[in-house]
Amino acid sequence: MNKSTMFRKVVGASTLTLATAIAATSVANAATWRYAHEEYDGDVQDVYAEHFKDYVEENSDHTIQIFEFGQLGESDDIMEQTQNGILQFVNQSPGFTGSLIPEAQIFFIPYLMPTDMETVVEFFRESEAINKMFPKLYSDAGLELLQMYPEGEMVVTLDEKATSPEGFQNKKIRVMTNPLLSATYEAFGATPTPLPWGEVYGALQTNMIDGQENPIFWIESGGLYEVSPNLIFTGHGWFTTAIMANQDFYEGLPEEDQQLVQEAADYAFDKIIDHIDGLAEESLEKIKEASDDVTVTKLNDEQIEAFRDRAPQVEETFIEMTGESGKELLEQFKEDLKEVQSN
């Protein structure tokens, strides 16, 4: 079964059965830890999870059981299961975590992040906002933040070409259930349309929506180019994700297991950075080879500036949503970026 078909697979009944079954198993002294993520076999989060699993299993007697997208439900489902202790680990984008931790929406302020991979990676390694401020925010929500990492530059697909905000005017663009991401596309002139990930392909196919945004590898992996063939590189941000542990579970581990988990997260981070290097270019070539209908538009500096001019209003919305803590985080974010870029 290809991944385009997987988009249309109904998983509700089996999801409930599987979640119920694993919930019935006591995890107090379990040697098997359960880890769910938001993507399919071979996608970036899955590759990260496999490296995490390899490190844990090679350096301990523990085992990791990985659940891909759909096996336990949508993103909201796996987060709820992690908070309830059914899952020990979850990999989820701030796009969804933002409803739980509003400050996590910072990654959806357009043109805040740089676009070149070397600077992005150094930022994730060195940023005080990510490595010191975010763990406290996640902790307040009952989650142990183990690692944040980038997956790839965001690319917009539409039903027709566009090079300006006017081309986005009134376009129904799918967004995650994230208020700030909605504010971004409103600023761009579009009509943000929240939809679960599993419904995106069908919604594009039936013209219920006009477009969506995702890293290029996911556009290729999910076959989205088949039903939304005009790819637009706006340079407005990178897709970011995070691996977290249930905090009660993590704090209940002996010190050597806590260290093992941290080392596994760091090991998988290094591996995933190697994995995504060149992945976007490879995925784009696969898309071009697979379809003659695809168009690729990379905005020039002048075209990008027309979108960038609308970013300040999204920053204002972010501060309105998050208050003083969000303002402090944004200031530190910018300071960290300035330092990385100066190097």
**Segment 137-188, tens digit of pLDDT:** 999 999 999 999 999 999 999 999 999 999 999 999 999 888 999 999 999 9
Is residue 19 scored above 80 in pLDDT?
A: no
CA-to-CA distance for 245 and 147, rounded, in angstroms?
Answer: 10
Do 211 and 234 touch, CB atoms closer than 8 A?
Answer: no
Indicate the DSSP class of residue 142. T
Contact criterion met (CB below 8 Å) for 75 and 197: yes
Distance CA 248, CA 245 (A): 9
Task: Give me the mean pLDDT over the 1-30 stretch.
Answer: 45
The pTM for the full model equals: 0.88
Tokens of 13: 């009944």
pLDDT the model gives residue 176:
87
In this model, does residue 297 exceed pLDDT 80?
Answer: yes
Q: What Å distances lie between residue 243 and 5, 94, 266, CA to CA?
A: 27, 10, 11
Give the three-class secondary structure for 236: coil
Residue 225 backbone phi and psi in degrees, to 5: -65, -20
Q: What 3-state DSSP class applies to 82? A: helix
Contacts of 104 (CB under 8 A, 6+ apart): 94, 97, 98, 134, 137, 242
Q: What is the pLDDT of residues 189-243, one digit of tens each?
A: 999 999 988 899 999 999 999 999 999 999 999 999 999 999 999 999 999 999 9
User: Alpha-carbon torsion 341, 139, 16, 28, what sign?
Assistant: positive
Residue 66 near residue 120, CB atoms below 8 Å: no
Percent of the chain with pLDDT over 90: 84
Residue pair 297/161 in contact (Cβ under 8 Å)? The answer is yes
pLDDT at 9 over 90: no
CA angle 329, 333, 336 (to 5 degrees): 135
Nearest-angstrom CA–CA distance, 249 and 261: 12
The residue count of the chain comes to 343
pLDDT band of 115, cuts 50, 70, 90: confident
Sign of the torsion angle spanned by Cα atoms 244, 151, 43, 79:
positive
How far is CA 19 from each of CA 10, 31, 74, 87, 127, rounded to the nearest angstrom? Answer: 15, 18, 12, 9, 36
